[in-house]
């Protein structure tokens, strides 16, 4: 069972040494998918900063969706702080059982969460199920750019466990691993892989 201190993560990580990465990743998602309207889920969104950054540059209605009730509580505070209550909400649930109807979502984004899902294949199948035909998925992990990754690594240099954890997650989740999941699910899509991150990207066929 995944555990984390949501408040500490929000204050020290999301608003601390990860602060710059969310707007950059949100812009990359927008540039790639072009989705600006409709419904978006930030899956495993934690205290919500990627979804909030996505809402800030689009007209999307964003749902921060996360396993942990504490994350939902802190996400709601972050949404209120950014005065985005009319377009951003937070809801508890798990990636492997997304409580949305079939063909109802325009964009699913997810950063830094898939590594912790109990069943990644089921989660990806769920993402595909809830997407509308033509809707996009952008799921994985990363830091936006190599420069931002270098800044985060500098901020974490006194904690070798942090880099060990990151390296271990990268090793366990190489691009071939995600490509295999897409092939097994017969979802046409690709893996974007670079030093700053690994992303599973697909558009549901019309
Ligand atoms: C490292 S945090 C990343 C949070 C945020 N997306 C970010 O980029 O900073 C991982 C998040 O994934 C969530 N999570 C883990 N397993 C999950 C699952 N099966 N379904 C939904 N969320 C999950 C955790 O509760 C946690 O908030």
What is d(CA 152, CA 72) in angstroms, rounded to the nearest whole number? 25
Report CA 102 to chain centroid distance, whole Å: 20
pLDDT value at residue 102: 98
Mutate to test the pocket of ligand 1, among 1, 2, 70 (most ligand atoms within 8 A of CB): 2
Structural domains of the chain in order of their starting residue, each with its CATH number: 6-203 (3.40.50.150)
48 lines ligand 1 (CB under 6 A): no
Q: What is the mean pLDDT of residues 108-134?
A: 98
Q: What is the pLDDT of residues 82-91, one digit of tens each?
A: 999 999 999 9
The set of residues, in sequence order, having a beta carbon less than 8 Å from that of 46 and lying 6+ positions away, is: 4, 6, 9, 10, 14, 64, 66, 68, 71, 75, 112, 113
Angle between helices 49-56 and 21-33 (to 10 degrees): 60
pLDDT for position 195 = 84
Pocket test for ligand 1, best of 2, 25, 74, 113 (most atoms within 8 A of CB): 113
Residue nearest to atom 8 of ligand 1 (CA): 111
Query: What pLDDT, on a 0 to 100 scale, did the predictor assign at position 196?
Result: 86
Give the residue, out of 24, 40, 44, with the most ligand 1 atoms within 8 A of its beta carbon, to mutate for a pocket test. 44
Residue 203 has pLDDT above 80, yes or no: yes
Pair 201, 190: CB distance under 8 Å: yes
Q: Reduced to 3 states, what is the DSSP secondary structure of residue 190? A: strand
pLDDT tens, 44-53? 999 999 999 9
pLDDT surpasses 80 at 1: no
**What percentage of the chain has pLDDT greater than the value 90?**
95
CA-to-CA distance for 144 and 49, rounded, in angstroms? 14
pLDDT at 119 over 80: yes
- On average, the pLDDT of the chain sits at 97
CA 73 / ligand 1 centre spacing (Å): 14
pLDDT band at 137 (very low <50, low <70, confident <90, very high): very high
């Amino acid at each position: 069972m995944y555990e984390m201190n949501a408040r500490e993560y929000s204050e020290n990580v999301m608003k601390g040494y990860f602060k710059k990465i969310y707007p950059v990743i949100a812009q990359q998602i927008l540039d790639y998918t072009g989705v600006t309207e409709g419904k978006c889920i930030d899956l495993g969104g934690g205290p919500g900063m990627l979804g909030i950054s996505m809402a800030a540059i689009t007209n999307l209605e964003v749902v921060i969706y996360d396993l942990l009730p504490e994350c939902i509580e802190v996400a709601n505070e972050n949404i209120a702080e950014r005065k985005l209550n009319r377009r951003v909400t937070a809801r508890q649930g798990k990636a492997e059982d997304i409580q949305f109807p079939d063909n109802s979502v325009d964009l699913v984004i997810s950063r830094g969460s898939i590594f912790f899902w109990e069943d990644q294949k089921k989660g990806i199948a769920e993402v595909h199920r809830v997407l509308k035909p033509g809707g996009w998925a952008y799921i994985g992990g990363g830091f936006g750019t190599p420069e931002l990754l270098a800044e985060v690594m500098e901020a974490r240099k006194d904690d070798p466990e942090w880099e060990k954890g990151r390296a271990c997650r990268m090793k366990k989740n190489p691009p071939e691993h995600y490509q295999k999941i897409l092939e097994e699910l017969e979802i046409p899509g690709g893996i974007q892989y670079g030093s700053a991150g690994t992303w599973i990207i697909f558009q549901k066929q019309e």
